[in-house]
Amino acid sequence: MKHALPVLTVLCAIILGWYVAAVALNAPWARDQAARAGTSLTMPALIRATMTQERPVLPAPHQVAKGVWDGVAGQKITSKRSLVWHAGVTLSATLAGFAIGSLAGILLAVGIVHSRVMDLSVMPWAIASQTVPILAIAPMVIVVFASAGVTGLVPKAMIAAWLSFFPVLVGMVKGLRTPDRMQMDLMHSWNASRAQAFWRLRLPSAMPYLFASLKVAVAAALVGTIVGELPAGATAGLGARLLSGSYYGQTIQIWAALFAAAALAAVLVMVISGIERVTLKRMGLAR
Amino acid sequence: MSVIEAQGVSLTFQTADGPVHALKDVDLTIGKGEFVSFIGPSGCGKTTFLRTIAALETPTAGRIGVNGLSADEARRARAYGYVFQAPGLYPWRTISGNISLPLEIMGFSKTDRAKRIARVLDMVELSGFGGKFPWQLSGGMQQRASIARALAFDADILLMDEPFGALDEIVRDRLNAALLELWAKTGKTIGFVTHSIPEAVYLSTKIVVMSPRPGRITRIIESTLPRERPLEIRDTPEFIRIAQEVREGLREGHSYD
């Protein structure tokens, strides 16, 4: 509770700065309108005019809040105008992609740690895959899948998996290699098999690394899904809301979708943090 | 009856700066139930020699027999328990869980494991601490737990690489006395690396003095002290004479060229 004051102070500063920016950015259009109507605006009137535009350059915070509220509570959940419905579409593809990507990352890491050949042959490609701009790859993935008759969740999940396997791979390789020489020697002195050393030593040692990288991966999966929704004909998902908003200059809609995406990412990371806390506590690793 | 036999053991590491002779022509026989200390300055190969007995290193020449088998066969037959300088307990396992670890790997049944854990915890005076996590114990207690772990599967040989090196002297004295007691009770053959002369003299029936470049044995001193050793034995003339002999052995092997 004693942190409430500084946190609120920062929040207020951000909102205040946002209002100032909204006034500054929206004022030219308001002045323009007034000039066309042959009137001039007093300062209070000008400020009021910058807060209520239908398509502001930068919507004011309360406009965005209203946009989010309308999207969440103002529609039936099954409506195509409901943010909840769009977020649900995005969430399902995100979770599918995250699951595929994390599993692939873990399996590749296990292979890399146990095989020098895999270390040399897989790692460079894994790194190269992340240097390709996802914006360039995403439409091709969508097109290739669509030509094979697969649309909807799967192609988006593949793009999400593409982005999310990498942090898990890097984190798990590091984590599985944390046991030091002495601990490996101890295993050797007991004549433990590689499988025994893996399940009893390497995997538990890697758990803190796994959770750290899962948090990065789930956020990356969400970004991948949204990017995957942009070229998909823009019919469903938060990415579609972003795209259609930009087509029609609906800045409030764009911002509302952005905030919905941010909130979704925050919830996902929090869920993983919760699982992390419980797991590490049960393992005796949390103090 | 000899338990460990080394004949002409040499071990050369190839490094970027040329070969390093960690061990050169080491011959040593250790009998059943002996307590053998290896002492010498750093780089004399005492740890390396202990590791070759444990088949954690492979000699480049010569041979080591353990229980009539090759060192690696003996390792696979789980002939020894090894204790490192650091306890190396898993932070995600309780003390009991840590002691259980080698037993699980070796396939002991659950009831057998519980029995063995209780027995070795009692041996190192940690009964009642089985449910604690390592970080809840002091350094000395953690090291005792790691000794319990090495004892749990009833290997006849205990190899210890400076097990008390990181502990303060008061704790170390207590653990040394406890180790002697344990040795008397179990009759195990113990190989013990140290760089403390009093520790070596207090514990051992045989003291192997080593010297570096190349790592070799310069002197083997058979202790004339009785097996029953109270801590006060360290003030007797006999003890001081043996310590003197060890010191001489260290000095003659020590050249600063």
Give the chain B residue whose CA is nearest to the CA of A282.
Answer: B92
**To the nearest whole angstrom, how far is the Cα of A200 from the nearest Cα of chain B?**
8
Same domain, B177 and B146: no
Same domain, B46 and B67: yes
**Residues of chain B with pLDDT > 70: what percent?**
98
Name which of B150, B225, B230, B153 is nearest B190 in CA terms.
Answer: B150
Same domain, A99 and A171: yes
For chain A, the three-class secondary structure string (H helix, E strand, C coil) is: CCCHHHHHHHHHHHHHHHHHHHHHHHHHHHHHHHHHCCCCCCHHHHHHHHHCCCCCCCCCHHHHHHHHHHHHHCCCCCCCCCHHHHHHHHHHHHHHHHHHHHHHHHHHHHHHHHCHHHHHHHHHHHHHHHHCCHHHHHHHHHHHHHHCCCCCHHHHHHHHHHHHHHHHHHHHHHHHCCCCHHHHHHHHHCCCCHHHHHHHHHHHHHHHHHHHHHHHHHHHHHHHHHHHHCCCCCCCCHHHHHHHHHHCCCHHHHHHHHHHHHHHHHHHHHHHHHHHHHHHHHHCCCC
Last residue of a domain, one of B154, B186, B207: B154
State the CB neighbour count (10 A cutoff) for residue A252: 21
Model confidence band, residue B257 (pLDDT cutoffs 50, 70, 90):
very low
Name which of A200, A214, A194 is nearest A276 in CA terms.
Answer: A214
Same domain, B148 and B174: no
With a CB cutoff of 8 Å and minimum separation 6, the contacts of B186 are B123, B151
Binary contact (A190, B84; C-beta < 8 A):
no
- Which pLDDT score is estimated for A268? 94
Q: What is the pTM of this model?
A: 0.82
Per the prediction, chain A carries an average pLDDT of 89
**To the nearest whole angstrom, how far is the Cα of A189 from the nearest Cα of chain B?**
6
Give the chain A residue whose CA is nearest to the CA of B155.
Answer: A190
Q: Is the pLDDT of residue A286 over 70?
A: no
Cα A275 to Cα A96, A214, B188, distances in angstroms: 18, 11, 46
Same domain, B138 and B159: no
Binary contact (A201, B82; C-beta < 8 A):
no
Angstrom distance (rounded) from CA B30 to CA B3? 6
Q: Is the pLDDT of residue A146 over 90?
A: no
- Which pLDDT score is estimated for B251? 85
Angstrom distance (rounded) from CA A146 to CA A132? 21
Residues of chain A neighbouring B91 (CB-CB closer than 8 A): 284-285
Q: Does A54 touch chain B (CB under 8 A)?
A: no
Residue window 134-153, chain A: list those with CB within 8 Å of chain B.
none
Query: pLDDT for A78-125, tens place per residue?
Result: 788 888 888 998 999 999 999 999 999 999 999 999 998 988 988 888
Model confidence band, residue A206 (pLDDT cutoffs 50, 70, 90):
very high
Q: Does B104 touch chain A (CB under 8 A)?
A: yes
Answer whether residue B257 is part of any domain. Answer: no
Q: Which residue has the tokens 């202790």?
A: B223
Q: Which residue has the tokens 């809301």?
A: A241
Residues of chain A neighbouring B133 (CB-CB closer than 8 A): 284
Q: Are B36 and B222 a contacting pair, CB within 8 Å? A: no
Same domain, B120 and B39: no
Q: Does B82 touch chain A (CB under 8 A)?
A: yes
Same domain, A243 and A107: yes
Angstrom distance (rounded) from CA B52 to CA B42? 17
A44 lies in which domain range?
A: 4-58
Q: Does A185 touch chain B (CB under 8 A)?
A: yes
**To the nearest whole angstrom, how far is the Cα of B56 from the nearest Cα of chain A?**
7
B98 lies in which domain range?
A: 88-154
Same domain, B8 and B95: no
Q: Is A70 exposed, middle or buried (0-12, 13-18, 19+ CB in 10 A)?
A: middle
- Which pLDDT score is estimated for B111? 92
Model confidence band, residue B230 (pLDDT cutoffs 50, 70, 90):
confident
Same domain, B238 and B166: yes
Residues of chain A neighbouring B75 (CB-CB closer than 8 A): 188-189, 191
Q: At B183, which amino acid appears?
A: W
Domains in chain B: how many in total? 2
Angstrom distance (rounded) from CA B61 to CA B221? 25
Same domain, A95 and A39: no
- Which pLDDT score is estimated for A277? 92
Query: Which range, A8-22, A42-56, B213-227, is most confident?
Result: A8-22
Q: Taken in order B80, B85, B87, B88, is the CA torsion positive or negative?
A: negative
- How many degrees, rounded to 5, is the angle at CA B200 between CA B197 and CA B202? 105
For testing the chain B interface, which of A181, A185, A188, A189 should be mutated: the one with the most B CBs within 10 Å?
Answer: A189
Domains in chain A: how many in total? 2
Same domain, A172 and A209: yes
Query: Which range, A43-52, B105-114, B207-216, is most confident?
Result: B105-114
Answer whether residue B104 is part of any domain. Answer: yes
Angstrom distance (rounded) from CA A238 to CA A229? 8
Cα B198 to Cα B20, B170, B247, distances in angstroms: 30, 13, 10
Residues of chain B neighbouring A203 (CB-CB closer than 8 A): none
Same domain, B167 and B48: yes
Q: Are B124 and B144 a contacting pair, CB within 8 Å? A: yes
**To the nearest whole angstrom, how far is the Cα of B12 from the nearest Cα of chain A?**
20
Same domain, A156 and A228: yes
Same domain, B123 and B166: no
Q: Report the DSSP pairing between strands B61-66 and B2-15.
A: antiparallel
| CATH of residue B56 | 3.40.50.300
Q: Does B92 touch chain A (CB under 8 A)?
A: yes
Model confidence band, residue B103 (pLDDT cutoffs 50, 70, 90):
very high
Q: What is the mean pLDDT of residues B191-206?
A: 90
Residues of chain A neighbouring B104 (CB-CB closer than 8 A): 200
Q: Is the peptide bond before A204 cis (omega within 30 degrees of 0)?
A: no
Answer whether residue A77 is part of any domain. Answer: no
Cα A68 to Cα A48, A128, B87, distances in angstroms: 21, 38, 56
Same domain, A121 and A221: yes
Query: pLDDT for B38-96, tens place per residue?
Result: 998 888 888 899 999 988 888 888 889 888 888 888 888 888 989 998 898 998 899 99
Q: Report the DSSP pairing between strands B80-83 and B157-161.
A: parallel
Same domain, A39 and A130: no
Same domain, B121 and B224: no
Q: Which residue has the tokens 């798990």?
A: A172
Write out the DSSP string of chain B: -EEEEEEEEEEEEEETTEEEEEEEEEEEEEETT-EEEEE-STTSSHHHHHHHHTTSS--SEEEEEETTEEHHHHHHTT-EEEE-SS----TTS-HHHHHHHHHHHTT--HHHHHHHHHHHHHHTT-TT-TTS-GGGS-HHHHHHHHHHHHHTT--SEEEEESTTTTS-HHHHHHHHHHHHHHHHHH--EEEEEES-HHHHHHH-SEEEEEETTTTEEEEEEE--S-S---GGGGGSHHHHHHHHHHHHHHHHT----
Q: How far apart are the first and last CA of chain A?
A: 22
According to DSSP, the residues that pair with B247 across neighbouring strands are none
Q: Is the pLDDT of residue A35 over 60?
A: yes
Query: pLDDT for A223-278, tens place per residue?
Result: 999 988 887 665 788 888 888 888 888 888 899 999 999 999 999 999 999 999 99
Q: Is the pLDDT of residue B256 over 60?
A: no
Angstrom distance (rounded) from CA B167 to CA B179? 15
Same domain, B95 and B175: no
Same domain, A39 and A163: no
Angstrom distance (rounded) from CA B191 to CA B211? 17
Question: Can you read off the two tokens belonging to residue A65?
Answer: 């809040």
